Structure 1
Amino acid sequence: MMTLIAIFFPWLSFLLRGKIFTAIICLILQITLIGWIPAAIWAVISLQNSRADKRNDKLIRAMKAR
């Protein structure tokens, strides 16, 4: 679901994750038709990186619990 939001509304994806300044920059980029594609790619990559960071943090906590 969040990936679809990142593709169709890149600025909203950043806003929902609490990155207000990034959301504003992305919205400005998305206003132009040509800038919408890079904004969508940027949002999807950022979302995937965020998910990977959460996975890594979970693994690190599990390793420290040993």
Structure 2
Amino acid sequence: MLLAILLPFLSFIIRGKILTGIVCLILQITLIGWLPAAIWAALSLNNARADRRNEKLIKAVKQNQR
């Protein structure tokens, strides 16, 4: 999470979203754009974590139904 706040573009690139990382870097270059870029990266990271949790829960529920 710290990486998403300090270097938002790098957070996207590490997660494999190269084009999004480049767009975020362009936004981050401006001083005014740093805050929206950091918020965008943090929200994106939280959404990705929630998606992984949901996938695990769905898989567990499907296995228990068998």
Say whether the fold is shared (TM-score over 0.5): yes
The TM-score, its normalising length taken from structure 2, stands at 0.96
Stretches of structure 2 lacking an aligned partner (at least 5 in a row): none
Larger of the two Rg values belongs to structure: 2
Equivalent residue pairs, number: 64
Aligned identity (percent) is 67
Structure 1 segments of 4 or more deviating over 3 A? none
Q: Deviations over 1:5-54 (max 9, x none)?
A: 00000000000000000000000000000000000000000000000000
Q: In 2, Cα distance between the equivalents of 1:17 and 1:58?
A: 19
Aligned equivalent of 1:39: 37
Q: Name the amino acid aligned to 2:6.
A: F
Q: In 2, Cα distance between the equivalents of 1:34 and 1:60?
A: 40
Q: Name the amino acid aligned to 1:11.
A: F
The TM-score, its normalising length taken from structure 1, stands at 0.96
Q: CA RMSD in A?
A: 0.3
Kindly state the Cα deviation for residue 58 of structure 1 after the two structures are TM-superposed: 0.3
Q: Name the amino acid aligned to 1:5.
A: L
Stretches of structure 1 lacking an aligned partner (at least 5 in a row): none
